[in-house]
C-alpha cells in the first residue's frame, strides 16, 4: 500500500489516503495508527494531517502528547533527511526545509544525492519553479561531467567509487524526478518526452529505474511507470500509437511495462471498450491510492483520455447517439453527456446536440464573422428603428398641431427643419425598408 | 549418408585399437612391465595394495604361460574374424568372434581382466557386424533383427556378469554401439510420416526399442561415474525416441501421459541444471518434433517456455558447428520450429511480438517458410510424390499466403510462384489450388477466396491465424478499392453484404466499424468517409473532409488562453495542453521513423505549430481547411471594428 515507505513520505502517503477517504474504515484506522506511531517515534506531532489522523485512529490526543520522551529516532525513519529537515517536512514547513538543505555544506562526491533530496522536497510542496532551477543545475552538472570524462580517464579508489556510483544514480534519479514534476503539473507530453530524452542520453536510466529506485524514500518505481503509461497514452495522438509501439529503440522500455503495450494494442485495434475496462479498472485503482498520481489523475488525466476517444468518434461520424457511445465504450451515459457536451462547447466544435443525438453542423469558419455582421445589422436596425420612430412622432406632432407648430415652438421648428434638411421622411422610410430586408437577411 | 560415415569412422577406430593390441602382443619382452603398469593404472586409488599386488604378480608368473597362450589365441582369432568381416563373410566372422567369447576363463585375476576385455570386444564386434545391413536393407530384416537381438541378449548378460569391472573404454565402445544400432533419425520427421515406408520403419523402431530394452538394467545402477551416467543418458534417450516413434507409427497419437510426462521431467531436470549439460542435439530435436506435431494437430503449444528454450538451444548448437548446419534434416526442424513459434506467438499475444511491426512479422514468417522449402529441396523431398503430405502442404501454403499478404501491403511485387522451390512443385494439385487462391485474392473475390482456401482442409487449424489475416486484408482492400470508390453513400448493411466471406461466417456491424476506424487511424483509408451512426450510413468522398472545430488553432489560442476571472477548473478544460492531447486541431499524419527522438520531435512540432498550414491552391488533400480560412481572422477583426464604430 505504501510501497515500503519509511521516511516523512509515509505520513504524506497516509495523509493522502485518509483525505481522499480511501479504503474501508478498518483499513483507515490501521493506517492512522501506523501514522501516529510513526509520528511518536520521530517526535513530531506538528503535521497538518494530525487532526484527521486522530479522528480516523479513534485514539485520544492525550496518548500522543504523552510519548514525547523517547530516545532519538532511528535513522531509517528519516527517509535520508536529517532530523530537523524531516520534522520540517512532516509539518509542511517546506521552505524552511529547503532553505536548511541548501545552506548545508556537502562533499562534492555527494552533491547529487543532496540535490536529489532537495528535489524531493520541492516536489512535495509543488514548488515547480524550484524544480526548474534544479533542472538547470542538473544540466550544468551533466555538461561538466562530460567535459570531465573527455579530459581523460580517472582512476577511482575502492571506497570513493561506491559513493561516486551512488552519486551517478542520484543524478539519473533527479532527472526522473523532473518527469514527475511535469506530470504533477499535468504536462503529460513533456513528462514522457523528457523521459525518453533522458533514456536516449543516459544509458543507465532503465537500470537505475528497475534496480536502484528506492521506493522507501519517495516515489515508487510502479508509480513512476504508471505516470509514464498515462502520459504516453494521453499525449500521443491516436493515429500515432501504431508508429510509437514499433520504435525500435524503446523495445527495452516496453518490455518493462507490459500494461502499456496491452493498452496500446487495444487502442490500435480500436477495442476501446476493453481499453476503458483497464483504464477505469487497474489504472484507476492504482492512481486513486497514490499520493503522486491521484491529483493529476482526478483533475485531468482520466477525462482527457475519454475526450480523446469521444473526439475520435466525432471525427468519423456525421451523427451519433450518446446511448450508442455509452454502450460501445462502456462509460456511464450521464458522464458521457456531461463530458462530451463540455468538449463540444469548450473546444468550439462544429457539432450540435439534439437530445440523444449529436450531429455535425457545418457552421463554417465564417460563422463567427456572420454572427458579428448580423450583430452589427441588428445594431444598425435598432438605430434606424429609433430614428424612424422619432420621425414618425415628429410627423404626428406636425400634422396634429399646426398652430402650435407655427407660432409657439420655434425651437422645435428649427430642429425639425434641420432634421428634414438632413433626411427626408420618405427617404428614411425607404431606407429603413431596405435595411429591414437586409436585417431579415442577416437574421435568417 | 552420415550414418555410413559414422560407421566407417567407427571401423577405422576399432581397427586402430586392434592394431595396438597386436603390437602389444609382439613386445613380449616388456610384458611384465606392461602388465604391472596396467595393474597400477587400474588400482590407482588404493596405493597401499601395491606391494601386495606385486607379490601376487610374482606368484602369477608361474601360471603366466596359460594366460599368455589364451591371449595369443584371442588376438589371432580377433584378427581373423576382422578379416572375415571385411570380406563380408558375416556368418564366419560371427563364429570366430563367438569362439573368443566362449573361451574358458581359468587364469589368474589380471589375465582374466584382459580376457574379459577381449570377450567384450568380440561381442561388440558381433553387434556391429550387421548394423549396416539392418538399416539399409529394405526387406527381410526380420530374421536379422532376431539374430542381433539374440546377440544383444548375450552382450547384456555378459555385461551383467562382469558388472563393468573392466577397462574404462567399455563405456565409449558401448555408446558407440548404441549409436550405430539405434541411429539418429535425421531424414524422417515425426510430423511428416505420410510418405514413410511405415512397415519398414516400424520394424526398425521396434528393433531399437527391444534392443535398448535389453540394457534397461543399466539405468538402475547408481554411481558417480561420469561415463556411466553418460551411458545411462544415451540409453534413456534412445529408449524415449523409440517409444515416441513407435507410438507415432502404430497409434498415431503421441500425446499420451507416458510421453508427455517424460517431456515434463526433462523440463524439471533442466531447471536444476543448465540445459546444455543434460541435453544433446538428438533429444532436443525430438522435443522440437514433438512440439511441432503438437502444434500441427491442435494449433497450440502447451509448454511454450520449454519449446522456446529448446529452439534457442538447438539454434545455438547448430550455429556452433558447420557439420550440423549443413544437415538439412536438422535445419528443417529448426526452421519449422521457428515458424511454429511465430505462428503460436501471434495467437498468444506474446509481448515481444506485439512490438514487432506487422509487416516485419509476416516477412520473417515468409522467410522461414522459404528456408524450410530450400532445405526440403536439398534433401530431395520436394518431388511431386512428396508434396501430397500435409506437412508439405503446410509449408507451401504458408509460403504462398505470407507472400500474398506481403505483396498486398508493400510495394515490392514478387510473384511467389516464380521461386525455384515452388516451380519444382508446379503442376501438383496443391500448387494448383494455391494458384487459384492467389488469383481470387488478386481479384478480391471474397467468397471464392474462402471456398478455395477451405478446399485445402488441412490448413484451417495450423494456418488459421494467417488465413484470418488474409480475409481481413481482402475485406479492407475491397472496401477501399471497390466500394469506397464507387459509392458516395451506402448503408452499412450493404457493405457488409459485399464483404461477406462466407455464408456461415457472418460479418458483424462492429467488424465493419472496426475496419473503418482502423483504416482511418492507420491512415490507410484511400477515400475520406463519415458515418451516420444513427441511420447506419457511410458517406464516402472528399467533400466529407470538414473542419471539426469552429475556429482555427491560432484563433483558439488567442481567444481562450488568457481567460480572466473564470474559475481555474473550467479553464483547464480548454487549456492549450488539453486541446493538444485530445488532438482537436491535429491533422492526422503518420510518423515514419525508427528513432524515438525523431518521433517526439515531430510530435512536438505539430503540437507547437499554431499557424495554419499553408493552403495549397490546387487541392485540399493535405488539409481539412478550406482556402478562405486563412483570412478568417481578418474578416472577424474587420467586423468587430465596424461594430465598435457603430456603438
Contacts from B253-258 at CB under 8 Å and sequence distance 24+? B254/B190, B254/B290, B254/B293, B255/B294, B255/B297
Contact A348 B556 (CB under 8 A): yes
How many alpha carbons fall within 13 Å on the CB side of residue B246?
A: 16
Contact between chains at A372 and B595 (C-beta distance less than 8 A): no
Residues B339-364: pLDDT tens digits? 988 888 876 666 666 677 788 888 88
Q: Considering only alpha carbons, which residue of chain B is nearest residue A364?
A: B550
Predicted confidence (pLDDT) per residue in A23-32, tens digit: 888 888 888 8
- What residues in A contact B635, CB-CB < 8 Å? 366, 369
**Between B139 and A9, residue with greater pLDDT:** A9
Query: Which conformational region is residue A45 in: left (phi greater than 0), alpha (psi within -120 to 50 degrees), or beta?
Result: alpha
**Which residues from chain B sit within 8 angstroms of residue A317, using beta carbons?**
530-533
For A432, residues 6+ apart whose C-beta sits below 8 A from its C-beta are A384, A385, A387, A388
Sort out which chain A residues have CB atoms less than 8 A from B545's CB and list them: none
Contact A177, A204 (CB under 8 A): no
The more confidently predicted of residues A366 and A98 is A98
Are the beta carbons of A49 and A74 closer than 8 angstroms?
A: no
A261 vs B351: CB contact, 8 Å cut-off?
yes
Residue of A183, A369, A382, A384 to mutate for B, most B C-beta atoms under 10 A: A369
pLDDT tier at B308, thresholds 50, 70, 90: confident
Q: For residues B575 and B566, what is the distance between their CA atoms, to the nearest angstrom?
A: 12
Q: What phi-psi label fits residue B163: left (phi over 0), alpha (psi between -120 and 50 degrees) or beta?
A: left
The verdict on a CB contact (< 8 Å) between A189 and B636 is no
**Nearest-CA distance from B591 to chain A in Å?**
6
E-strand ranges in B135-235 read none
B177-186, B235-244, B513-522, range with the lowest pLDDT = B177-186
Q: Tally C-beta pairs within 8 A across A and B.
A: 211
Instruction: Indicate which of A247, A267, A358 best probes the interface with B, i.e. most B CBs within 10 Å of its own CB.
Output: A247
CA A4 to chain B, closest CA, distance in angstroms equals 29
Q: What is the reported pLDDT for B162?
A: 72
**Angular region, A31: left φ>0, alpha ψ -120 to 50, beta rest:** alpha
* CB contact (8 A) between residue B591 and residue A236: no
- Whether residue B14 lies within 8 A of chain A, CB to CB, comes out as no
| Partner-chain contact A243 B643, CB within 8 Å | no
Q: Is A261's CB within 8 Å of B577's CB?
A: no
Give backbone dihedrals phi and psi of B192, rounded to 5 degrees, phi first. Answer: -140, 75
Q: Mapping DSSP to helix (H, G, I), strand (E, B) and coil, where does residue B530 land?
A: strand
Using the Cβ of B611 and the Cβ atoms of chain A, whether some distance falls under 8 Å is answered with no
A209 versus A196: which is more confidently predicted? A196
More confident residue, B80 or A437: B80
**Residue A181's pLDDT band (boundaries 50, 70, 90)?**
very high
C-alpha cell at B424: 519444382
With CB atoms and an 8 Å threshold, state whether B583 touches A311. yes
Whether the CB-CB separation of B14 and B78 falls below 8 Å is answered with no
pTM equals: 0.74
Closest-CA residue of chain A to B634: A369
CA distance B605 to chain A (A): 12
Which residue in A243, A245, A308 is closest to B583 by CB distance? A308
At residue A226, does pLDDT exceed 90?
yes
Q: Tell me which chain B residues have a C-beta less than 8 angstroms from the C-beta of A386.
A: none
> B526 CB near a chain A CB, below 8 Å?
no
Look at residue B272 and tell me whether its pLDDT is greater than 70.
no
What are A402-440's pLDDT values in tens digits? 665 555 555 544 444 444 444 555 554 554 444 444 444
B591 → chain A, closest CA residue:
A243
**Phi-psi bin for A17: left (phi > 0), alpha (psi -120 to 50), beta?**
alpha
Of the candidates B521, B534, B642, the beta carbon closest to that of A270 is on: B521
Note whether A360 contacts B546, CB cutoff 8 Å: yes
CB contact under 8 A, B578 and A312: no
pLDDT at residue number B551? 66
Cα–Cα distance between A291 and B67 in angstroms, integer? Answer: 92
Cα gap A334→A322, rounded to integer Å: 9
Q: Are B101 and B122 in contact (CB under 8 A)?
A: yes
Cα–Cα nearest to B185, from B196, B173, B171: B196
Distance CA B345, CA A384 (A): 78
Grouping H, G, I as helix, E, B as strand and the rest as coil, residue B573 is helix
Please list every residue in chain B whose beta carbon sits closer than 8 Å to the beta carbon of residue A241: 521
Beta-ladder partners of B531: A317, B538
Cβ neighbours for B468, distance < 8 A, ≥ 6 positions apart: none
**Residue A25 Cα, gap to closest chain B Cα (Å):** 31
B198: left (phi over 0), alpha (psi -120 to 50) or beta: alpha
**Cell, residue B172:** 565409449
Give the gap in angstroms from C-alpha A224 to the nearest C-alpha of chain B: 20
End-to-end CA distance of chain B: 105
Could A240 and B357 be called an inter-chain contact, meaning their C-beta atoms sit closer than 8 Å? Answer: no
CA dist A51 and A72 (Å) reads 25
Q: What count of Cα atoms within 13 Å lies in the side-chain half-sphere of residue B119?
A: 22
A405 contact partners, CB below 8 Å, separation of at least 6 = A397, A398, A412, A413
* Chain A nearest-CA residue for B361: A246
Per-range mean pLDDT, top range of A66-80, A239-253, B296-310: A239-253
Which of B511, B546, B583 is best to mutate for the A interface (most A CBs within 10 A)? B583
What integer pLDDT is reported at residue B568 of this predicted model? Answer: 44
Confidence of residue A179 (pLDDT cuts 50, 70, 90): very high
- The DSSP output letter for B241 is H
Residue B89: which residues within 8 A CB-CB, separation 6 or more? none
Dihedral over alpha carbons B597, B598, B601, B606 (to 10 degrees): -150
Taking an 8 Å cut-off on Cβ atoms, the answer to whether B521 and A242 are in contact is yes
Query: What DSSP designation does B479 have?
Result: I
Complete domains list, chain B, with CATH: 361-543 (1.25.40.570), 558-646 (no CATH)
Q: Which residues of A touch B537 (CB under 8 A)?
A: 318
Arithmetic mean of pLDDT over chain B: 73
More confident residue, B621 or A270: A270
Helix or strand (DSSP H, E) at B309: helix B304-320
Taking alpha carbons only, the member of A293, A280, A283 closest to residue A257 is: A283
Q: Using a CB-CB distance cutoff of 8 angstroms, which residues of chain A are in contact with residue B517?
A: 270, 312, 316
Taking the C-alpha atoms of residue B459 and residue A4, their distance in angstroms, rounded to an integer, is 53
Answer yes or no: are the C-beta atoms of B549 and A350 closer than 8 Å: yes
Angle at B168 between CA B162 and CA B173, to 5 degrees: 85
Chain B CA closest to residue A301: B578
Residue of chain A minimizing CA distance to B601: A193
CB contact under 8 A, A235 and B530: no
CB within 8 Å: B349 and A265: yes
- Is residue B189 within 8 Å of B333, Cβ to Cβ? yes
Confidence band for B420, pLDDT divided at 50, 70 and 90: confident
CB proximity B19 to A under 8 Å: no
B605 in contact with A, Cβ within 8 Å: no
What does the pLDDT look like over A117-135, one tens digit per residue?
A: 888 888 888 888 888 888 8
Amino acid at each position: 500500500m505504501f510501497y515500503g515507505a519509511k521516511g516523512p513520505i509515509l505520513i504524506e502517503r497516509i495523509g493522502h489516503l485518509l483525505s481522499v477517504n480511501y479504503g474501508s474504515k478498518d483499513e483507515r484506522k490501521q493506517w492512522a495508527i501506523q501514522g501516529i506511531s510513526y509520528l511518536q517515534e520521530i517526535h513530531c506531532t506538528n503535521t497538518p494531517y494530525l487532526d484527521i489522523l486522530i479522528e480516523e485512529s479513534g485514539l485520544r490526543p492525550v496518548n500522543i502528547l504523552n510519548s514525547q520522551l523517547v530516545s532519538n529516532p532511528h535513522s531509517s525513519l528519516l527517509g535520508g533527511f536529517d532530523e530537523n529537515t524531516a520534522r520540517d517536512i512532516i509539518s509542511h514547513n517546506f521552505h524552511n526545509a529547503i532553505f536548511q538543505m541548501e545552506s548545508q555544506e556537502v562533499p562534492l562526491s555527494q552533491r547529487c544525492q543532496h540535490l536529489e533530496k532537495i528535489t524531493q522536497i520541492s516536489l512535495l510542496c509543488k514548488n515547480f519553479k524550484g524544480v526548474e532551477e534544479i533542472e538547470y543545475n542538473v544540466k550544468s552538472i551533466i555538461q561538466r561531467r562530460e567535459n570531465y570524462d573527455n579530459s581523460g580517464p580517472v582512476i577511482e579508489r575502492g571506497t570513493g567509487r561506491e559513493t561516486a556510483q551512488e552519486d551517478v544514480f542520484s543524478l539519473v534519479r533527479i532527472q526522473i524526478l523532473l518527469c514527475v514534476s511535469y506530470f504533477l503539473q499535468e504536462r503529460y507530453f513533456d513528462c514522457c518526452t523528457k523521459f525518453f530524452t533522458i533514456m536516449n542520453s543516459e544509458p543507465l536510466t532503465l537500470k537505475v529505474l528497475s534496480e536502484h529506485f528506492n521506493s522507501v524514500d519517495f516515489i515508487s518505481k510502479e508509480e513512476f511507470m504508471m505516470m509514464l503509461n498515462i502520459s504516453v497514452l494521453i499525449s500521443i495522438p491516436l493515429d500515432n500509437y501504431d508508429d510509437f509501439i514499433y520504435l525500435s529503440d524503446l523495445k527495452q522500455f516496453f518490455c518493462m511495462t507490459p500494461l502499456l503495450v496491452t493498452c496500446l494494442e487495444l487502442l490500435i485495434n480500436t477495442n476501446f471498450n476493453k481499453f476503458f475496462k483497464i483504464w477505469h479498472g487497474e489504472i484507476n485503482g492504482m492512481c486513486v491510492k497514490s499520493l503522486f498520481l491521484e491529483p493529476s489523475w482526478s483533475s485531468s488525466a482520466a477525462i482527457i483520455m475519454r475526450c480523446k476517444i469521444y473526439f475520435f468518434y466525432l471525427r468519423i461520424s456525421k451523427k451519433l447517439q450518446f446511448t450508442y457511445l455509452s454502450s460501445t465504450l462502456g462509460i456511464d451515459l450521464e458522464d458521457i453527456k456531461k463530458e462530451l457536451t463540455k468538449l463540444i462547447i469548450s473546444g468550439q466544435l462544429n457539432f450540435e446536440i439534439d437530445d440523444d443525438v449529436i450531429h455535425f453542423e457545418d457552421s463554417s469558419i465564417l460563422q463567427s464573422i456572420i454572427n458579428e455582421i448580423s450583430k452589427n445589422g441588428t445594431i444598425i436596425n435598432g438605430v434606424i428603428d429609433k430614428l424612424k420612430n422619432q420621425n414618425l412622432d415628429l410627423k404626428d406632432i406636425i400634422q396634429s398641431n399646426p398652430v402650435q407648430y407655427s407660432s409657439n415652438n420655434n425651437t422645435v421648428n428649427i430642429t425639425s427643419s434641420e432634421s428634414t434638411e438632413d433626411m427626408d421622411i420618405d427617404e428614411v422610410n425607404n431606407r429603413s425598408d431596405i435595411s429591414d430586408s437586409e436585417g431579415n437577411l442577416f437574421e435568417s | 549418408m552420415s550414418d555410413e560415415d559414422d560407421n566407417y569412422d567407427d571401423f577405422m577406430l576399432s581397427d586402430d585399437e586392434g592394431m595396438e593390441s597386436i603390437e602389444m602382443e609382439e613386445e613380449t619382452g616388456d610384458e611384465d612391465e606392461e602388465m604391472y603398469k596396467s595393474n597400477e593404472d587400474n588400482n590407482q586409488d588404493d596405493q597401499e595394495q601395491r606391494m601386495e599386488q606385486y607379490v601376487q604378480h610374482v606368484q602369477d608368473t608361474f601360471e603366466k604361460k596359460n594366460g599368455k597362450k589364451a591371449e595369443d589365441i584371442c588376438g589371432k582369432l580377433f584378427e581373423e574374424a576382422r578379416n572375415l568381416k571385411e570380406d563380408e563373410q558375416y556368418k564366419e566372422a560371427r563364429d570366430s568372434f563367438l569362439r573368443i567369447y566362449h573361451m574358458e576363463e581359468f587364469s589368474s585375476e589380471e589375465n582374466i581382466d584382459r580376457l574379459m576385455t577381449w570377450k567384450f570386444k568380440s561381442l561388440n564386434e558381433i553387434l556391429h557386424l550387421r548394423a549396416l545391413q539392418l538399416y539399409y536393407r529394405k526387406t527381410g530384416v526380420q530374421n536379422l533383427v532376431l539374430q542381433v537381438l539374440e546377440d544383444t541378449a548375450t552382450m547384456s548378460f555378459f555385461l551383467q556378469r562382469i558388472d563393468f569391472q573392466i577397462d574404462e573404454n567399455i563405456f565409449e565402445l558401448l555408446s558407440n554401439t548404441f549409436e550405430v544400432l539405434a541411429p539418429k533419425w535425421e531424414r524422417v520427421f515425426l510430423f511428416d510420416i505420410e510418405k514413410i515406408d511405415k512397415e519398414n520403419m516400424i520394424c526398425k523402431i521396434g528393433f531399437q526399442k527391444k534392443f535398448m530394452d535389453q540394457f534397461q538394467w543399466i539405468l538402475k545402477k547408481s554411481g558417480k561415474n561420469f561415463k556411466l551416467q553418460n551411458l545411462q543418458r544415451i540409453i534413456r534417450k534412445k529408449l524415449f525416441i523409440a517409444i515416441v516413434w513407435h507410438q507415432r507409427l502404430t497409434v498415431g497419437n503421441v500425446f499420451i501421459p507416458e510421453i508427455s510426462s517424460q517431456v515434463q521431467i526433462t523440463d524439471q531436470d533442466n531447471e536444476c541444471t543448465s540445459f546444455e549439460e543434460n541435453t544433446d542435439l538428438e533429444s532436443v530435436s525430438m522435443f522440437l518434433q514433438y512440439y511441432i506435431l503438437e502444434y500441427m494437430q491442435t494449433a497450440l503449444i502447451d509448454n511454450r517456455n520449454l519449446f522456446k528454450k529448446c529452439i534457442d538451444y538447438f539454434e545455438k548448437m547448430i550455429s556452433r558447428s558447420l557439420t550440423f548446419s549443413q544437415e538439412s534434416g536438422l535445419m528443417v526442424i529448426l526452421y519449422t520450429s521457428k515458424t511454429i513459434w511465430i505462428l503460436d506467438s501471434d495467437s498468444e499475444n506474446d509481448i515481444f511480438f506485439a512490438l514487432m511491426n506487422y509487416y516485419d512479422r509476416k516477412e520473417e514468417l515468409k522467410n522461414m517458410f522459404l528456408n524450410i522449402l530450400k532445405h526440403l529441396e536439398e534433401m530431395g523431398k520436394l518431388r511431386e510424390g512428396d508434396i501430397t503430405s500435409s506437412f508439405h502442404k503446410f509449408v507451401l501454403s504458408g509460403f504462398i499466403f505470407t507472400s500474398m499478404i506481403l505483396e498486398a501491403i508493400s510495394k515490392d511485387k514478387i510473384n511467389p510462384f516464380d521461386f525455384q522451390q515452388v516451380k519444382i512443385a508446379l503442376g501438383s494439385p496443391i500448387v494448383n489450388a494455391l494458384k487459384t487462391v492467389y488469383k481470387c485474392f488478386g481479384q478480391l473475390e471474397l467468397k471464392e477466396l474462402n471456398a478455395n482456401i477451405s478446399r485445402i482442409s488441412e490448413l484451417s487449424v495450423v494456418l488459421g491465424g494467417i488465413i484470418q489475416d488474409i480475409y481481413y486484408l481482402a475485406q479492407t482492400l475491397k472496401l477501399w478499392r471497390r466500394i469506397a470508390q464507387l459509392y458516395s453513400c451506402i448503408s452499412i448493411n450493404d457493405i457488409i453484404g459485399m464483404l461477406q466471406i462466407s455464408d456461415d461466417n457472418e460479418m458483424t456491424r462492429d467488424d465493419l466499424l472496426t475496419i473503418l476506424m482502423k483504416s482511418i487511424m492507420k491512415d490507410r483509408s484511400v477515400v475520406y468517409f463519415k458515418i451516420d451512426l444513427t441511420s447506419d450510413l457511410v458517406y464516402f468522398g472528399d467533400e466529407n473532409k470538414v473542419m471539426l472545430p469552429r475556429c482555427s488553432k491560432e484563433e483558439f489560442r488567442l481567444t481562450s488562453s488568457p481567460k480572466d476571472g473564470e474559475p481555474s477548473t473550467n479553464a483547464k478544460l480548454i487549456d492549450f495542453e488539453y486541446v493538444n492531447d485530445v488532438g482537436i486541431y491535429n491533422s492526422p499524419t503518420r510518423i515514419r521513423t525508427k528513432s524515438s527522438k525523431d518521433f517526439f520531435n515531430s510530435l512536438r512540432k505539430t503540437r507547437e505549430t499554431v499557424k495554419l498550414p499553408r493552403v495549397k491552391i490546387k487541392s485540399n488533400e493535405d488539409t481539412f481547411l478550406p482556402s478562405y480560412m486563412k483570412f478568417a481572422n481578418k474578416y472577424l477583426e474587420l467586423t468587430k471594428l465596424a461594430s465598435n464604430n457603430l456603438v
